[in-house]
Amino acid sequence: MFELAPMPRFRLYTRASDYAHLLRDVLLGRATRGDDAARLEREICRRFDVPYAVCMPQGRVGIYLAIKHTIKPGQKVVLSPYTIADVINMVICAGGRPVFADIDRQSTNILAEDIERLIDGETGAVMVTHLHGLSCDIERIATICRSRNVPLIEDAAQSFGARVNGKAVGTFGDAGVFSFGMYKNVTAFYGGMIVTRDERLYHAVRAALDATPYMSCSTVIAKAVKALVTDVVTSPLLFKTCVYWLFRFGYLHEIRAINKHVMVELDTSRTHALPASYLRRFLPVQARMVMRQLPRVDANAAVRIGYSRLYYEALSSIPDVVVPAFRDDGSYVYNYFPLQYHPRTALVRSAMRQRRDMAVQHLKNCASLPSFAPEYRDCPNAEATAAQVILLPNYPRYGERSVVRNIAALRRFFAGGGEHFSDDDVNRLAELHMTSLPDSNVSVLGAEYARAFYRYVTDSSRELTMIDRDAAGRISAAAVISLEPDSLPRRLVFRTPLLWHMVAHPRRMFAWALTLRGPAAARSHMPELILIYTSPEERGRGRATTLIQRAETHLRRLGIDAYEVKTVADPSNPTLAFYRSRGFTPRKTASELGRRFQVFERQLHEG
């Protein structure tokens, strides 16, 4: 199961043939030829069982047109603050006054009860967002809107193909909007679609675009080139051999020049008028691209749902973690599996260190953005969610093994108590180790090596480092458990400057050789408590005992039911009594091993 580098955090839903078709059609002058946009609209009407559909140059233009032709200028639009600022801007450009309703932490979607509370005589529309492919409580919201006689618009930009009780999202209200943007699960590099049952709205939207020119081919080509670069950079071979390592280095060392290429920093400024260039017609060549993807939509969703089940089952019971519910009835198509945790950067850092690739969600709580200060409303759930979402990859080409590896990395992070080790921490661990365990094989190699050892161990996904801090925040006790103790010496040879230290200090090498672990007979392939110590000032306060208890809780969470510890079998060694008194049972005696070690084993029974 060893993997040198992970699959990328996302991949586009494009295929090589999409680029070939685009190039061919542009070169042959066929980009604007054909009635494919109308064909696509008919196909969407058939699939979603609606009478009207209109292709859009971008999803946001659909939102703009839907709001503009639904409300009277100056009316309120109740909406979710947890979305891109462009959506709020479209409402403002369309003459609406955004009113932010809070969201549900788990689904990250707008709360029906908040909508109900906020609707008043000035409300012109309610607009919901089905985020991350998770449908909001749409049946209830539709009922509320009907009973209050308020039009309902659905932003289903991220949820193409999701269905609630068999009915497509986007078709519950007066209008639904989809996006075919570059990162969406159906992509035309750029574009979108409005669906509606309202004939008046349909004609208004149609008329608004019919008078406009086609989107220029160069706009679509520029997007396609960007997509192609993204596809090349995230192609597994290139990504795993170079790109990942570069971005990982940039991320872990906070190098902005590298990070800016993966950071999504959306424009959050306020817009008052729709840019004239937005009103364009969707190109037939783009419609053909969407048509080719439609047969794959449901199968792709099924794969994402399957991966989301794995994430859900493994992560939903972890304390302090918020994940969406698991649904396989089609109402959740999970365009990513959003996990919430605070502090999320500690988790992403740990995942990166463990050679995984995942990223934080870039969406903000628009209700607290300075640009929407006039519309400010306290939305505590949106505020917390915006600070905590991490997008776990689940795209169809990701592979189940990659999901399983992510889960293992996340569980190790949580098992380790979600600890983040700074350089100061690493130095402190080395210093404490040298003073507390002067005879150990790490200490005999010197302080410099001890630091290299802890840099490796605190980064490693196969060791758990548990610590205690004193009142000043300094590490006062530490315990390290190796989940794979058999491979640790080999890993240290390759991952730390062990050989160099031995060559540079032959005498230390000799001392180190003397400390080597027991012979093969001692091997059990069981996790092993390899280090435990307390700072001199904190000794005698039961620190080691509590660390062991915490370690055991973590091991249980990892599904481990036994571990062992080796200790020097000298009767004067106080640790023998320590382990005996804490329920460790002798497994191999010194005479059996023919060495001076005693091996203790500890069974972890639930409870």
Name the nearest CA neighbour of 305 among 277, 284, 336, 275: 336
Maximum separation of any 2 CA atoms in the chain, in Å: 93
Query: Based on CB atoms, which residue is closest to ligand PLP, 131 or 502?
Result: 131
Name the nearest CA neighbour of 178 among 293, 63, 278: 63
Q: Per the structure block, which two tokens stand in for 361?
A: 């969600």
CB 545 to ligand PLP: min, Å: 50
Query: Based on CB atoms, which residue is closest to ligand PLP, 110 or 144?
Result: 110
CB 81 to ligand PLP: min, Å: 12
Name the nearest CA neighbour of 602 among 444, 481, 500, 521: 481
Query: Based on CB atoms, which residue is closest to ligand PLP, 177 or 467?
Result: 177
Which residues 6+ apart lie within 8 Å of 334 measured at CB?
A: 132, 133, 134, 301, 304, 305, 307, 308, 324, 394
Query: Based on CB atoms, which residue is closest to ligand PLP, 92 or 157?
Result: 157
CB 182 to ligand PLP: min, Å: 8
Query: Based on CB atoms, which residue is closest to ligand PLP, 129 or 460?
Result: 129
CB 129 to ligand PLP: min, Å: 5
DSSP assignment of 397-434 equals TS-HHHHHHHHHHHHHHHHTTT----HHHHHHHHHHHH
Classify each residue of 294-330 as buried b or exposed e, where b means 16 or more C-beta atoms within 10 Å of its C-beta: eeebeebbebbbebbbbbbebbeebeebbbbebbeeb
Query: Based on CB atoms, which residue is closest to ligand PLP, 157 or 274?
Result: 157
Angle at 95 between CA 92 and CA 98, to 5 degrees: 45
CB 59 to ligand PLP: min, Å: 3
Paired sense of beta strands 475-482 and 528-534, if any? antiparallel
CB 55 to ligand PLP: min, Å: 12
Name the nearest CA neighbour of 102 among 365, 394, 373: 365
DSSP assignment of 88-116 equals HHHHHHTT-EEEEPPB-TTT-SB-HHHHH
CB 91 to ligand PLP: min, Å: 11
CA–CA distance, 324 with 391 (Å, rounded to integer):
12
CB 90 to ligand PLP: min, Å: 8
CA–CA distance, 153 with 155 (Å, rounded to integer):
7
- Cβ atoms 478, 466 nearer than 8 A: yes
Paired sense of beta strands 562-568 and 52-56, if any? unpaired
Q: Is 305 left (phi over 0), alpha (psi -120 to 50) or beta?
A: alpha
CA–CA distance, 358 with 406 (Å, rounded to integer):
9
Query: Based on CB atoms, which residue is closest to ligand PLP, 131 or 168?
Result: 131
Query: Based on CB atoms, which residue is closest to ligand PLP, 90 or 502?
Result: 90
Which residues 6+ apart lie within 8 Å of 53 measured at CB?
A: 40, 41, 42, 44, 45, 193, 194, 195, 196
- Cβ atoms 349, 252 nearer than 8 A: yes
CB 189 to ligand PLP: min, Å: 10
- Which amino acid is residue 357, in one-letter code? D
CB 82 to ligand PLP: min, Å: 9
Using CB under 6 A, list all residues that contact ligand PLP: 58-60, 83-84, 87, 129, 131, 155, 157-158, 179, 181, 192
CB 37 to ligand PLP: min, Å: 16
H or E stretch covering 479: strand 475-482
Place of tokens 């070169």: 27
Query: Based on CB atoms, which residue is closest to ligand PLP, 89 or 460?
Result: 89
Residue 258 CA, distance from chain mean position: 20
Query: Based on CB atoms, which residue is closest to ligand PLP, 182 or 467?
Result: 182
Query: Based on CB atoms, which residue is closest to ligand PLP, 131 or 274?
Result: 131
CB 286 to ligand PLP: min, Å: 12
Residue closest to ligand PLP (Cβ): 59
Q: If you count them, how many residues does the chain have?
A: 607
CA–CA distance, 97 with 565 (Å, rounded to integer):
65
How many Cβ atoms are within 10 Å of 97's Cβ, its own excluded? 18
Q: Is 110 left (phi over 0), alpha (psi -120 to 50) or beta?
A: beta
Query: Based on CB atoms, which residue is closest to ligand PLP, 69 or 455?
Result: 69
CB 424 to ligand PLP: min, Å: 40
CB 164 to ligand PLP: min, Å: 17
CB 266 to ligand PLP: min, Å: 9
Query: Based on CB atoms, which residue is closest to ligand PLP, 96 or 192?
Result: 192
Query: Based on CB atoms, which residue is closest to ligand PLP, 82 or 584?
Result: 82
DSSP three-state, residue 366? helix
- Cβ atoms 449, 496 nearer than 8 A: yes
Query: Based on CB atoms, which residue is closest to ligand PLP, 274 or 310?
Result: 274
